[in-house]
Structure 1
Amino acid sequence: MALSQRCLLYLKVQLFIFNLIFWLGGCGALGVGVWLSLSQGRFSALSLSFPSLGIAGLFLAAGAVVMAVGFVGCLGASTEHRCLLLTFFVILAAIVLLELGGFVVFYACRDKFDRYAQDDLKSGLRRYGTPGDPALTQAWDTVQTEFRCCGVQNFTDWFEIQNATALPESCCLEHGTPCHSPTATWWKEPCYEKVKRWVGENIWAMGIFAACIGVVQVLGLISSMLMYCQVLQAEKHYE
């Protein structure tokens, strides 16, 4: 009996610590989402199909869910409540399955997502400079200036889509130089590939964060089920 109690105490402390880390990870994801919303909000108008969604929204939603699940896990561990432990296990298992499913779908359809994203961005070029879309115009100017790029796939996108004879000033190497003049020079790299390359170069931090959360999730699943079984066994012993 003493051994069983020690095992239960060990699992209780372990599960509480795992869930505390899990909860703190949710706080971190929420903070990243807020930071992205504030710092990258000027890019949100680039997409016409999903103007309110993006990486920032995903981080905000994921952070809120992780914090809620972590709280349930901490509460279940501290009170040794079977219902809370089982609820935590089921919710966490569902989250892990959704994460795996989402990763598989994204990886399998990454080429389709690529084409769709480029087509969606090209649709936005048609509304550049129109009175009804100042946010989209500003977003494109910001991207082309900061990333030193022009167009989605090529600077010629502006000529093909807008039937224009000049490029936006944000495409020019030197602002103030008309991009339609014979001596004008502009950024030659496409914005989509340059931004995609920038994301790829900085995605390692996100990958490390996701891997750490994944390890904590798996350990949380194992610990919660072991603790649930120990609590159930202890209750049967006292009956």
Structure 2
Amino acid sequence: MAVLPVKFTKTKRDKLAQLLWVLNWISVVTGIILFSLGVFLKVEINKRQDLMAERQLQSVPNMLIAVGLIACGINFLGGKICYDCVDTSKFLRWKLVMLPYIILTFFFTLSILVGGLMCYSLHGQLEESLMLGLREAMRYYKDTDTPGRCFLKRTVDLLQIQFQCCGNEGHRDWFQIQWISNRYLDMSRREVVDRLRSNVEGKYLIDGVPFSCCNVNSPRPCIQYQTTNNSAHFNYEYQTEELNLWMRGCRQALLDYYTDILHSIGLTVLIIWLFELSVLTGVRYLQTALENVWRRGDPECESEGWLLETSFVATARTNFNIIKNLGKFNQINTVSNGDPNIDRPSTAHYGPDNVPLKSIPIAS
């Protein structure tokens, strides 16, 4: 029994073919949109690649770019097929092509769904990549004279100003690393020397943060040094007063930024997937309806279209048996190639210990 059968008259078939022609051209535009979304996401990731650890983050934009390009080609071909199918006599051109085209489009539509779901599954990898990348960037913040790292100070400062954040998890992350270069330390001061000697690794650690952590909306001047020393500042209480620094960590700020982008792209891709699925369904109905017209030989007759000629279970069982029989056929061919006489009937008779005897003619 066919799955979801629909009756089509000649007029309905022609209107369906015309509608699918228009929808396939719209699908070419959606393919361009998918390609553009992939390029946009790739650019956004590459813009802050220095703040991310090496992870498989490029798989999503690459997937969207590839799917977008394939969508343009497949839907252009689908538009041509549907345009020709308006005239039933031209259906013979595409009769052998339509079923492989539908199968190919089905797997392509499935890949769009996978691309959309990948946008939502990238959160964990992105969070880990940002955490490790920001940690390394802050570690080399002071190395402004080292080739390959001299730009990290500017990158981190612009990040903290633009996203109104400070540190990796928070401003206290700066307390655990030396972010001031040794070339700017006054070694003649006893305080500086004592601080360097007090650290096991010889680092100059202070309870201060870079200027880019300062909250520009604060009514009082920024307190970026000795932030935990109440006596160092007038009318200042570290435990109770709200600091005039950005409280949010940059990892969370970037994670929220990229999550919003990925969710927006994922939603758009899923909408495009539903649209492509509806176009694929229409093409399948058109193909089966025209197949039945061709079998009857009357272009004006009423025909029936369906998604599957039999039930889902029966179709799956049939395909499984075909694959199974193909496996047996390949196995028989392998054995036959090993022994060229295995399929030939033998006229010899065998005695004990499989010793061949002389053939005995059978009396008529």
CA distance in 2, matches of 1:66, 1:46: 33
Please give the residue correspondences for 1:23-34 in structure 2 after superposition, counting only pairs within 5 Å.
23-34=28-39
Alignment correspondent of 1:221:
280
Alignment correspondent of 2:50:
45
One-letter amino acid of the structure 2 residue matched with residue 167 of structure 1:
V
SS of the equivalent of 2:171 reads coil
One-letter amino acid of the structure 2 residue matched with residue 73 of structure 1:
G
Does structure 1 conserve the Cα–Cα contact (< 8 Å) formed by 2:174 and 2:209? yes
Alignment correspondent of 2:82:
77
Does structure 2 conserve the Cα–Cα contact (< 8 Å) formed by 1:30 and 1:63? yes
CA distance in 2, matches of 1:134, 1:16: 56
Q: 1:48-96 CA deviation, whole Å, 9 max, x = no partner? A: 3159838765554443233233223223322342455434433332234
Alignment correspondent of 1:14:
19
Q: Is the deviation greater in 203-212 or in 64-73?
A: 203-212
How many positions carry a matched residue from both structures? 236
One-letter amino acid of the structure 2 residue matched with residue 150 of structure 1:
C
Decide which of 212, 217, 231 is 1:170's aligned counterpart. 212
Query: Once the 2 structures are TM-superposed, how far is the Cα of residue 180 of structure 1 from its aligned partner?
Result: 3.8
Decide which of 65, 68, 76 is 1:63's aligned counterpart. 68
SS of the equivalent of 1:156 reads helix
Q: Which runs of 5+ in 2 are unaligned?
A: 1-7, 86-93, 179-202, 217-221, 228-232, 234-242, 299-364
- Higher gyration radius (CA): 2
Please give the residue correspondences for 1:146-225 in structure 2 after superposition, counting only pairs within 5 Å.
146-160=162-176, 165=206, 166-173=208-215, 179-180=224-225, 182=227, 185-198=244-257, 205-206=264-265, 209-225=268-284
Q: 1:150-198 CA deviation, whole Å, 9 max, x = no partner? A: 1232223344466754534432335xx7944656943111122233344
Distance 1:56 1:214, change over 3 A: closer
Does structure 1 conserve the Cα–Cα contact (< 8 Å) formed by 2:64 and 2:115? no
Alignment correspondent of 2:108:
95
Does structure 2 conserve the Cα–Cα contact (< 8 Å) formed by 1:4 and 1:230? no
Distance 1:37 1:214, change over 3 A: closer
CA distance in 1, matches of 2:22, 2:171: 53
Does structure 2 conserve the Cα–Cα contact (< 8 Å) formed by 1:19 and 1:220? yes
Alignment correspondent of 2:159:
143
Query: Once the 2 structures are TM-superposed, how far is the Cα of residue 132 of structure 1 from its aligned partner?
Result: 0.7
Q: Which has the higher helix share?
A: 1
Alignment correspondent of 1:119:
132
Q: Is the deviation greater in 118-127 or in 195-204?
A: 195-204
Does structure 2 conserve the Cα–Cα contact (< 8 Å) formed by 1:30 and 1:62? yes
Distance 1:126 1:116, change over 3 A: same
RMSD between aligned residues:
4.0
SS of the equivalent of 1:186 reads coil
Q: Using structure 1 for the length normalisation, give the TM-score.
A: 0.72
Q: Which runs of 5+ in 1 are unaligned?
A: none
CA distance in 2, matches of 1:83, 1:117: 51
One-letter amino acid of the structure 2 residue matched with residue 153 of structure 1:
E
SS of the equivalent of 2:248 reads coil
